[in-house]
Structure 1
Amino acid sequence: MNYGKFAYLYDELMIDAPYDQWVSFVLKVMNANGLETGQILDVGCGTGNIAIPLSKKGLEVTAVDLSEEMLFVAQEKSVAAGAKVQFFQQDMRELEGLGQYDTIVSLCDSINYLNNEAELNATFSRVREHLNDHGLFIFDVHSIHKIEKVFNGNTFAHNGEDISYIWECFAGVEPHSVEHDLSFFVRNMKGLYERYDEFHKQRTYPIEVYEQALQKAGFKLVSITGDFSLKLLNKDAERWFFVAQRK
């Protein structure tokens, strides 16, 4: 998934996203498993909103993303923040040559951009190959509830002074999938608005499919929780969190 122009608008549009909760969740899980000072790989890092804070906490962070534009923005932000993050452009389905890590994370629904179960299995297998023995894999996905009740059939809009958007969500062809049709209107230096269009597809699966994919790849499931909880999985949770350990 290449984000194009969206990469340069992403942080402004996502200003209210709970990145501090993602970072806190990761740190708590790592601490509970004695990995407070371990090396960490962020897969699908976007513009670095999780990798950079983790680096500032003293962790040795490497981050990968498929989008060259996202990585360019992330690198600029990392330098400005004084963080020490190594960024690489790679496809999560084909991770290679990145070394071994104590913890690998894939957050902000990055896993939902995988198109089918074969790609899910390939990604989990490649993640396992880059984990140390008993290393942790922490990831989140949109729940079926969110895809079908929050996204599909709904339209979201924002009317800002410099950026406005119309975000339409349609049910995809595959079960539990959504197609995002986004139009952005961005004011340029001349005070005129330029239009940019983006199309994104996401897909999720029943929890059992994720469990089976983890087991097949060689993981032991540690926990499944919802909406940043470390203990609870509510049936109406919008986001599922998985913690798995390499066998």
Structure 2
Amino acid sequence: MEFFVAQHSIVRKIWGKSDTILFIFAGAAAEFALNKAVDWLYFTGKLPSDPLGRLFSTVRYARMIVFAPKAEANKAIDTMRKIHSTVEENRGAVIPDWAYRDVLFMLIHYSISAYELLEEKLTEAEKEEVYNVFYRVGDRMGLKDLPQNYIEWLPVREAHLINDLQKSEYTADLFKQYKKHLGALRFMVLIEGQKLVCPNRVKTLLQFTRLSWLTIVVPIYKFSRQVKMDWLLKSILLPTDYKAQINELDVYKG
């Protein structure tokens, strides 16, 4: 059976662990809030009203693509495109192509940065593999002007960060919603985690301090995984309503 992502791919390892996925979406949550096209997420009202639910909805699609047979993965990608097309029809406008690319670029960047934070540095070949998977997702969605490889993508990513991000009223409101749904303690952890994976442009716009106290905590957490005690930290930090869903993300066995 042919899979969209090879069974021993580094991408499966990245997307097969709950803590890595949570850091991916912690970073994306910060960058989403700054994107000039974030008003599209407000049009449906789903993100501000239920940011955690939106997270797990997105995770389900991403994991379907990463772990499913190729035919099912392609079907998931087509469904995502159809959902966005319906939103466009309802609003009477078209989501800019650069906005689609921005989301794709976030998944590439944070897949790499989250894994390198919690596991180890990726080789250039592994980074290329990450890029190739999401390039094929974007190509299936019909996105234009995608760089052909990881090296060509790097300057394009930087250009997008400069041109497509701004701090706005949506930024402030989204972070307000994050705090409301997470609670003060978990929201503080979110901010500190974002500092560790977000690019400098994002941290500058959000006026993050240079240092994160999670820099000290991460090595302790990595050790706790080795002695099978990471469940204790997760039980303290993760929202009770979502613990079961988060635990289900730990499927990688390779």
The two structures have a TM-score, normalised by structure 1, of 0.29
In proportion to residue count, which structure has more helix? Answer: 2
Q: Larger relative CO (CA 8 A, sep 6+): 1 or 2?
A: 2
In proportion to residue count, which structure has more strand? Answer: 1
